Chains A and B, each alone.
Chain A
Amino acid sequence: MTQTSDRYSNRTYRRLKALKRIGLYAGVTLVLIYMLFPYYWAIISSTKTRESLYSFSLVPSLDFSNYISLFNNPIFMGAIVNSAIIAISSSVLSLVISLLAAYALGRLHFKLSRIILICVLMISVFPQVVVLSGMFEVIGWLGFYNRPAALIFSYLLLILPFTTWVLTSFIRDLPVELEEAALIDGCSRMRILTHVLLPLMGPAIASTGLLAFILAWNEFLFALTFILTDENRTVPVAIGLLTGSSRYEYPFGQIMAASVTVTLPLLILVLIFQRKIVAGLTSGAVKG
């Protein structure tokens, strides 16, 4: 019901508007501080040593000795290499498998496609601990125990459902006409996938791949369980197990340096691919 009798003067509304604007920016600033400050603090702390670490200065002190000792630490550097190999291999493997599947699920008509998609979704939400003992056995049979291969293999559980789901919804969003034109020209399905759809899906695959990489790079439970020796560890476990000789000698500066090192490249990539990542993360959820 529109009423004009009980309204304030134009000037009051102008002030209210200005206030709202200020409130909006204040709110956004608060959110940003909440979300970003801890990471900023980690960066600052990583550039401090000893006494300065315990001063509470908000500006970095540009002392890189933490980083130097970190890069001279063979276990940590080894962990970075392991993590990179494992994350890249499992993402690429997952992308290939799920791209094929996504094409079938997103484009080809057959009865069980919906049920398979739901099963895939269910697998993505069930607790990893439930497969731990069975996975242990399978990894033993394959002879993967305490090897990077164990993680490449087990991360399929983590990544495959996710990439399948996201790629399926990306493929569904592509215009069907393109494919129909190719079909009329007599292309095989495989050729359509590799020559018609794939070139169009560059950004989608890049962002899905990045998300898959992040999942693998950040994983902790399997990495902790299936890898026994330090030289085969991945980054999260290496950081998780970094401890000093006593509680008071906890090497916080070094841990912060490690934390910054393993996340900075990731964060930069995420910021670059921001739009696509958001699309990937939400596509399944919103439509499903």
Chain B
Amino acid sequence: MASVTLKEVSKSFGAFDVLQSIDLTIEDGEFIVFVGPSGCGKSTLLRAIAGLVPVSKGDVFIGGEQVTDVPASKRGIAFVFQSYALYPHMNVARNISFALETARMAKAEIRQRLTRVADMLKIGHLLDRRPKQLSGGQRQRVAIGRALVSQPQLFLFDEPLSNLDADLRMEMRFEIAKLHAEIGTTMIYVTHDQTEAMTLADRIVILNHGRIEQVGTPRELYDRPANRFVAGFLGSPRMNFAPVHTDTSSGLLHGPSGFVFATSGTGSSQPVTLGLRPEALEIVEAGTAQSISGTFERAEDLGYEHIAYVRLSDDLVWTIRSTEPLSGHARGQAVGLGWQIKDLYLFNEAGIRVDVEAARGPVVAVQS
């Protein structure tokens, strides 16, 4: 078991900076998830921790020890690849025990560990097969088994479930969570599936363009996103945004039609964007007090939830999510969108979230 510390880690491929001065501390036993859009550097960061790519600048510590230049084979880690990377010419048993054999471990001990891992992952009946003869889910289990058997102090997963279908993915997600609960080893897990991130993580690290946008528990990130990127990244469907501007003479904040908001003077950090999550909105009758006005576009019934689209202006369509059916409105019909102050997010020019209460004083919503 080990903590991981990254100090100003940067990585560039030629002139292209993939990671830019990453600082991060991961506690012993934590389950950390890296998320971010495709190409933001998640895999690169994970591989830098593993020692599979050398960092260009900065230092990596595992278990408090400097390992920046230590080869991957000496870092005491295990890595589960997206493609599983099983040895095609070895059967499952040898795939799992290969590293142990290499380390000259006693045969009996190897067998014992193999049996334990196989039982744990329910792959005991597959031990004689070649990777080719396994299904995707079975390969995934073998890959995890191979990682487990060496009893590493740190587990690294790079999108391990992305090649599986939805059902299997859920099942394996559960298994991985269970595994972490059982062995308690530090785990770092890369994904771009936010459900995986939200459900598995002790803390989530959100990356964008090679930088950390925010680190925190899933709840923190969801409720108190540090900036517009994080707010927009987590949540499905994503948060609705709209431009706002402050009328300096009246101190009123103007947004999409029907949205007006009193502030107590202008602070240093003027909000330019507002955000409201789809589930924080409710369709009300057009003209209802404090509602944002728009026209109904269409509704989708997903069975367990309902999504509606409401057009606020020519180039702005908002999403509304509800557990109640949202149909019953005609396309083009004028509707209002009700919202509550506690659900409102405001972001300044730089995209940083402006704390509504603190920056603006008590907020009073007035009718337009």
Contacts and interface: CB of A to CB of B under 8 A. Distances in A.
Interface of A: 1-4, 7, 10-11, 13-14, 17
A4 B74 CA distance: 6
Contacts of A7: 70, 74
Interface in B76-129: 76-78, 99-100, 102-103, 105
A13 B74 CA distance: 10
Interface in B52-76: 54, 63, 65-71, 73-76
Contact of A1 (B54, B65, B67, B105): B105
B76 A3 contact: yes
A212 to B, nearest CB: 36
A14 B71 CA distance: 9
B70 A13 contact: yes
Interface residues of B, number: 24
B76 to A, nearest CB: 4
Most chain B beta carbons < 10 A, residue from A2, A10, A13: A2
A13 B54 CA distance: 12
A4 B78 CA distance: 12
A14 B346 CA distance: 48
A1 B74 contact: no
Contacts of A10: 65-70
B102 A1 contact: yes
B153 interface: yes
Contacts of A1: 99-100, 102-103, 105, 150
B216 interface: no
A164 to B, nearest CB: 31
A2 B71 contact: no
**9 closest A-B pairs (Cβ-Cβ)?**
A1-B103, A4-B76, A14-B69, A7-B74, A13-B69, A10-B66, A2-B76, A2-B150, A13-B70
B338 interface: no
A13 B51 CA distance: 12
B255 interface: no
Nearest to A4: B76
A10 B71 CA distance: 9
